[in-house]
Chains A and B, each alone.
Chain A
């Protein structure tokens, strides 16, 4: 037997080496388990191209953020909202132009930095909550209260049939027409305070 082992090159020394190597391998494996169970793992992300394939009627265009012509500066976003009667709103940006998540950052109303997406919350006189979003220059109004009170597909108010979306991962804007089952777009001539104040839940449901 010993002869056979020796013939195959498996001496006692080699055997000990194999045992040590196995132990080291198991230790390394355990260390990998420890490390990967830590906080390096990212939360699951949606494949955005797949998402819009599934949830939109049509992807009209995709635009690389750095090539987009209509991205607003902080002050331009502020003026856009003020011109529509939205005074004194706190406007936030959550991503920089390179797609880095920067948290909910209040913008400088006079600033010249460009952000791909701006958000502000508007409370109308009936205490209905709206989220105003400006993505690549396009403004939309998302009726939070209405959507909460009505079961089913959420609606969004827009000045165009196509919606501008943003994804930091691909660093692109997506211009799409959503499927009615995903997001119902209600088109109006102009989004401003007057329009939102008149947009009761009943009026919204009749749009």
Chain B
């Protein structure tokens, strides 16, 4: 009897322990996730992946990152377009969005296969209900300012996003053929847009706890929001089929919490959002991401083929207004941008969305998951095909190319083969060949600095300058912390020289030199660094079209931009001349060549800019027939450079036209010396100015010649008298102001 009682008691204890363990499992998902996770839960027949569908909100559509697949500019040309183009325009689907950067083996980047392998249906502003339950209504203002005032705001109903999967009205992929559905959704349900608007419009000093009060109110409804999001996941899973793996990407924390000299940098730089607000907003994003991850986890446990991808680590330190690292998120933009759907009102939709570097970071996070799932699928596929070889990861399937004697130069060797993924390159006798067209990562994983060497006997490649590469074809990652010798992003490797890679650092090399068209590869002496070949392009190329304006956004540390040699067809060697490249806020620390507000960008040259500066470029040179110039910046997610480029709707300078016989004043209200550019040849004007003692000098006339640049000292006011009409232009943001009768300025 007593024994029986003990047995019952033991059973009871065991059941209790099971309950406890289950509870721990549920309550602490982070512990549960530490074990190896299989993401692909489909048990049916597996095929090779070829189709991705991308749904979601602005964080997927690529809001704030023009060019979009269809633009107002295109629309305004003849006001006629296809339905899909019209939807692209209203949805703000960017050609640079992260889903377009995703790759599938054998297919390459999705953006090169739109509507074949990639179906892009994300819509800026979408909430979870717009996936499958309720059509999203987009408001827009068509035409110019006057037309908008007359006609007011128009609306358009967007299709349910799920229709691309159900083929109701839109030609999507065939049933049960989708391999991946990517999505970001929920941010608009949680009202993050309103929250940011609140930060911007209301001075926190007057109501310090307004933001947490607002967030608390939002958070009270979070369960309902999460239920709606979950419904959307379920509807997607049903429409896409069980073979489709749904990848839910989270949101990044938005505002920088960097401290500089112990003080919050955001307080110094933003002028409107305070550090406590940044902290609270970021906390809200983190809490929201946790709920999303938990929800996805629940769905996965219930059998759905779904996983959550966090982007928080990739974006950490790269938030808007970051100091130490390049920002991956756009700053708040009050002024409406050219591609905004409204042209009356305040607050651009571009605000607080990932920029190009942010899109790259998103793509890398999701690509990593795709690669994991692909590896799982390959194992399943191999099993289903009865093959025992389960070593089917992309890395393992690629053959190593360095099977030649390293120093043996053999022109028959394969050069830039199509390559996916990353593979190790085995040096032979301490030497490795780097094939043109490929990208290599050299990692120093030791505790000491290692010098690699370009051997003297590769002189066969040598240029007349002695440079092996002269065209930004070698890129060094981590130049600030990791490399002792080089602070430029681009370096030229010279034969018979040593180059250091410090402990824990990497060097990324892409041999591209145009001077050795007959050459196939280059040789370096690795001295023990690990070498990997990768398909990741270390460059982002921007095509800067004539007549457009571009802004390259800063980073925080001295960085460079490279103008390609493609434009070497003009009268002058410069890709841009006549003051069409403008640098804002130069100061004494700038390189000599960049001191002026106007600089001439030469072909094949590299330009640095510092601190918080932006570079504005308006390619419009009369001396080249090319439609565009090309600019290169590094393209690595954890790159300390992270330059991003946006098309601007305002040219970076203003033309002033002054009439004969009138007097005008130029006031330099900036803290730096400034320059103006006179855009004519023969006419002259006289100028009176305040000398160094602060005296107004009338008899000391300064004659300004045309097609010259003249500097204006800090805080100096000049008075200009004209004897004929003339024109000059000044940078829009330079602080130079013109005052006078009949003055007009024109874009």
Contacts and interface: CB of A to CB of B under 8 A. Distances in A.
Interface of A: 12, 16, 19-20, 23-24, 26-27, 30-31, 33-34, 37, 39, 42-46, 48, 51, 55, 94-95, 101, 103-104, 117, 119, 121, 123, 127, 129, 131, 133, 135, 140, 142, 144-145, 147-154, 156, 163-169, 178, 182-183, 202, 205
Contacts of A183: 203, 205
B284 interface: yes
A26 B209 contact: no
Contacts of A156: 203, 205-206
A133 B210 CA distance: 13
Nearest to B23: A30
Interface in B210-235: 210-217, 219-220, 222-223
Contact of A154 (B24, B223, B272): B272
A43 B219 contact: yes
Interface string B281-310: 001100000000000000000000000000
Interface in B504-555: none
Interface of B: 6, 9, 12-13, 16-17, 19-20, 23-24, 26-28, 194, 200-203, 205-217, 219-220, 222-223, 268-272, 276, 279-280, 283-284, 332, 334-335, 345-346, 612, 669, 737
B20 A149 contact: no
Q: Which of A45, A55, A133 has the most CB of B within 10 A?
A: A45
23 contacts: A20-B12, A20-B16, A31-B23, A37-B27, A42-B216, A43-B215, A43-B280, A95-B213, A103-B214, A104-B194, A117-B206, A119-B201, A123-B346, A129-B201, A133-B202, A144-B272, A148-B270, A151-B270, A151-B271, A152-B271, A167-B209, A168-B209, A202-B737
Contact of B20 (A27, A95, A123): A27
Contact of B216 (A31, A43, A142): A43
B268 A151 contact: yes
Contacts of A30: 20, 23-24, 27
Contacts of B16: 20, 23-24, 27
Contacts of B6: 12, 16
The 3 residue pairs across chains A and B that have the minimum distance between CB atoms: A30-B23, A43-B212, A23-B16
B17 A131 contact: no
Given A23-B16, A44-B212, A178 B205 contact: yes
A159 to B, nearest CB: 14
Contacts, number: 151
Given A27-B19, A43-B215, A165-B208, A121 B201 contact: yes
A165 B200 contact: no
A60 to B, nearest CB: 14
Nearest to A34: B27
Given A23-B13, A55-B205, A145 B334 contact: yes
A43 B284 contact: yes
A45 B212 contact: yes
A131 B197 CA distance: 12
A178 B332 CA distance: 25
B208 A148 contact: no
A151 B23 contact: no
Nearest to B280: A43
A144 B111 CA distance: 38
Contacts of A129: 201, 334, 346
B271 A154 contact: yes
The A interface is mostly helix, strand or loop, or mixed, namely mixed
The B interface is mostly helix, strand or loop, or mixed, namely helix
A169 B205 contact: no
Nearest to A31: B23
A131 B202 CA distance: 7
Contacts of B17: 23
Contacts of A147: 271-272
A152 B612 CA distance: 13
A147 B284 CA distance: 25
Contacts of B23: 27, 30-31, 34
B209 A45 contact: yes
Nearest to A127: B335
Contacts of A34: 23, 26-27
Given A23-B13, A34-B26, A165 B201 contact: no
Contact of A39 (B209, B220, B268): B220
A26 B23 CA distance: 10
B13 A51 contact: no
A165 B214 contact: no
Given A30-B23, A44-B280, A148 B200 contact: yes
A144 B201 contact: yes
Nearest to B10: A16
B669 to A, nearest CB: 6
Contacts of A16: 6, 9, 13
A48 to B, nearest CB: 6
A55 B212 CA distance: 19
Given A30-B27, A144-B200, A42 B212 contact: yes
A23 B20 contact: yes
A65 B666 CA distance: 51
Contacts of A104: 194
